[in-house]
Amino acid sequence: MTNTTSAGLASSEAGAGSPPPEAKPHFHRSIGLFPAVAINMIQMCGIGPFITIPTIVAVANGPLAVVGWIVGALLSMADGLVWAELGAAMPGAGGTYLYFREAFQYRTGRLMPFLFVWTAMLTIPLTMSTGIIGFVQYLNFFWPNLTPTQGHLIGLVLTGIVLLALYRRIESIRTLSTAMWVILILALGLTTAAAYSDFHLSLATAIPPGATQASKFFTGLGAGLIIAIYDYAGYNTTAYMGDELKNPGRVMPRSIIISIIAVMCFYLAMNIGVIGTVPWQTVAKSQSVASLVIEQNWGHTAAAIITILILVAAFASVFAGLLGGSRVPFYAARDGVFLSAFGKLHPKHAFPHIALLAMTAVMAVGTFFDLSTVINMLVAVTVILQSIGQVFALVVLRRRQPQLHRPYKQWLYPIPCLVALLGWVFVFYMADTESQALSAAWIGLGLIAFLLWARATRSWPFGPRTVDEVYLERQRQEGTPS
């Protein structure tokens, strides 16, 4: 999922605005296929499933939510094949930033990488907001009469605690991410086991009347697909860690494909198990579905223990995600493609405090909205720029840099690109009108910010446009065959 976990490790390893590959220290290539798959799955399986199953069940007409999970996996696979080719050809730390920089520099200079970082300033903290919202939802198990006002206040207090914890120099989040993954897997596994300990096929197949009518089905599918995409995001994590993969041309594509298939099976098992234990109408209204299922089948004490694990994981994921996410605009500013203020370090503790404060503020605002609204917003922003942009980046690079060494070429090209493009357009179309408008407005503000920044730095369109084919040049120097 585009969850609190994925933003953490990926961003901390990447630094969206990393220096060109030949100008930065190279990491030791120590990550093989199995750990690469594990890394992707860590990012995909964050707090999301615990908080989104009720939402997807509600909008996708109960048991038909499984269709949303399957279609979401197919769209993720098509998009994953875009990531696979780009990442295998340009295996550096940076992901989308690198691809946009290489593909779009010929006509628009630094505009696209600037806009990517600009959108990250919104999507990363909004993802953290979902972790805070999820934390408050699961508090309802212990505090069933929690009012919305009390929930918002708790969210603000948690935000403040996270900021205080991060307002210092912190070198690594690997230990935290590993511990969080163990907790999440334990909670997911126990929830699924509890569900199947008293499973009823009649509940799992109780499709409501009229749900299969075309109009209602596709409306539910669109709404459910947005939730599913949020939960699947993270399959691209290894693309942000290209400098650390063994044989990235082989490992990266396989890690993406395998992780999507594995997580789809995981999500389907949990979703089917939950609605086969509790009527889907009850699931749709639940604030803490994992607690509900475990309490019904294993008792209150077991549910309390698992709920505590989920609360710990939710808080830890927000901490890790904001820690890594705050580095994205910092590295971009240091690379000269984003606002210089974000490239400043704290004078005493040497961490990117401007970026941290800005993202924390956005995260705090996000906690005042309901979960569905936040997910719609961050998915809409991601789709309109990053997801659709990368499809065009792949096509542009095939035309502009045909000699670039591509260890992996997209299967059945351009069919996966077309499927991904149509899928992302459908997802954006199905987002609520407010999210569409807000995402377009945010990108519009980004364009204005870029023009002001470009004028101040005398870069394109107010200065010369430079073209630097970093990977082609490195290929020539190393004698890599095209």
- Region 380-389: mean pLDDT is 93
pLDDT at residue 22 is higher than 60: no
Q: Tell me whether residue 341 is in a domain.
A: no
- For residues 47 and 200, the answer to whether their CB atoms sit within 8 Å is no
Task: Name the residue with higher pLDDT: 117 or 313.
Answer: 117
| Alpha-carbon distances, residue 182 vs 185, 189, 313, 316 (angstroms) | 5, 10, 9, 12
The pLDDT tens digits of the residues spanning 234-263 come to: 898 888 877 778 888 899 999 999 999 999
Quote the pLDDT of residue 195: 94
- Per-residue confidence at 112, pLDDT binned at 50, 70, 90? very high
Q: What is the extent of the structural domain holding 240?
A: 4-327+351-434
pLDDT at residue 318 is higher than 60: yes
Q: What is the CATH number of the domain that holds 259?
A: 1.20.1740.10
Q: Tell me whether residue 186 is in a domain.
A: yes
The pLDDT tens digits of the residues spanning 323-362 come to: 878 878 887 888 888 888 998 888 888 888 999 999 999 9
Task: Name the residue with higher pLDDT: 244 or 307.
Answer: 307
Q: Tell me whether residue 384 is in a domain.
A: yes
pLDDT at residue 210 is higher than 80: yes
| pLDDT-wise least confident of 39-53, 114-128, 387-401, 427-441 | 39-53
- b/e sequence 423-452, b meaning 16+ C-beta within 10 Å: bbebbbebbeeebbebbeebbeebeebbee
| Alpha-carbon distances, residue 250 vs 123, 238, 422, 439, 442 (angstroms) | 30, 12, 27, 35, 37
Question: How far apart are alpha carbons 389 and 386 in whole angstroms?
Answer: 5
User: Nearest 5°: CA angle at 152, between 359 and 220?
Assistant: 85
Indicate if the alpha-carbon torsion angle 358, 363, 365, 366 is positive or negative: positive
The pTM is what? 0.86
- Per-residue confidence at 6, pLDDT binned at 50, 70, 90? very low
Q: Tell me whether residue 357 is in a domain.
A: yes
Question: How far apart are alpha carbons 108 and 372 in whole angstroms?
Answer: 34
Q: Tell me whether residue 447 is in a domain.
A: no
Number of domains in the chain: 1
C-alpha 205: how far from chain center: 31
- For residues 378 and 52, the answer to whether their CB atoms sit within 8 Å is no
Quote the pLDDT of residue 175: 67
| pLDDT-wise least confident of 23-27, 299-303, 314-318, 471-475 | 23-27
pLDDT at residue 453 is higher than 90: yes
Q: Tell me whether residue 482 is in a domain.
A: no
Question: How far apart are alpha carbons 165 and 160 in whole angstroms?
Answer: 9
pLDDT at residue 12 is higher than 60: no
